[in-house]
Amino acid sequence: MTATVERKADEYKSEVKVTWCPGCGDFGVLNATYKALAEQGYDTKDVVVVSGIGCSSRFPFFVSTYGFHGVHGRAMPIATGIKLARPELEVIAFGGDGDAFAIGAGHFVHACRRNIDMCYVIMDNAVYGLTKGQYSPTAATGYVSKTTPEGSSEAGINPLMLAIASGATYVARGFSSKPKDLTKLIVDGINHKGFAVIDVYSPCPTFNKVNTFNYWKEECEPLPADHDPSDMGAAIARALQPDPLYLGLFYQKEGDSFDEKVRARATGDASQTRGLVEKLIAKYG
């Protein structure tokens, strides 16, 4: 969709008061999204924001575009249906690591392999904030929470590896305290023709006292300048690297999206389809 009017970020703010805790990283993601939409120059009626359940999944309330606040883990089926029914709309999904990689993990994998033309921004804080501090699928081994008082015995999911291995064609990692870099990742993810996944470190100051802003500032570095996003091997190697944790575009591949393939296979208009059905009923009914 091509920008036709110069717009300001404030045009995409809704009248609903943002209700996240003070200091939540999701504010940075929201502001980066406003700036990305303004940079694209979208009319608000041409964009649909979809989410599941969680603190970050309240995103649709805070954006003046169309929105759909779904149920836990079901952002991908909803967003897929919207994109297939209305391919001219820009569909952007938002959610947290629990919504994406726990109850929504199966849907996430299939959205990646289908390579649907939409962008999915995941606010990753390694904890369930809405339900008061349980550990999430991205929490590291040993993470202490209300559900793991002696430390988690499980290894955390690597979102970038999961996305690349499942077939996503744009895979990036951002940090909510780097709004300029994050805005660019979101703009490029929206413009990418295929399924774009952006995992964003977005600290929860209320329930996660380990993965704080200072923690990620110390652990994260930009991807090396010579990193080639078309090199899947290099993307996987750097996604696996625990120190430092890289930020930026890890992997990108061009190709036909799922919705483009579906439209290409469609033949005839509705009247022709009805005529075929009527003939089959007359013959076999």
Q: What is the pLDDT of residues 212-243, one digit of tens each?
A: 999 999 999 999 999 999 999 999 999 999 99
The total of other beta-carbon atoms located within 10 Å of residue 186's CB is: 26
pLDDT at residue 42 is higher than 70: yes
Q: Lowest-pLDDT range, 1-5, 141-145, 223-227?
A: 1-5
**pTM, full prediction:** 0.90
Report the distance separating Cα 222 and Cα 97, nearest Å: 22
Report the distance separating Cα 96 and Cα 262, nearest Å: 29
User: Domain 9-284 classified CATH 3.40.50.970?
Assistant: yes
Report the distance separating Cα 33 and Cα 185, nearest Å: 10
The identity of residue 197, as a single letter, is V
Greater confidence (42 vs 282) lies with: 42
Pair of tokens at residue 213: 């802003």
Query: Angle 179-191/26-40 helices, nearest 10 degrees?
Result: 50
What local confidence, expressed as pLDDT, does residue 279 receive?
73
Q: Are 49 and 67 a contacting pair, CB within 8 Å? A: yes
What local confidence, expressed as pLDDT, does residue 135 receive?
87
What local confidence, expressed as pLDDT, does residue 274 receive?
54
Q: Are 91 and 83 a contacting pair, CB within 8 Å? A: yes
Pairing verdict, β 134-135 and 170-175: unpaired
**114: exposed, middle or buried (C-beta count within 10 Å: 0-12, 13-18, 19+)?**
buried
pLDDT at residue 275 is higher than 70: no
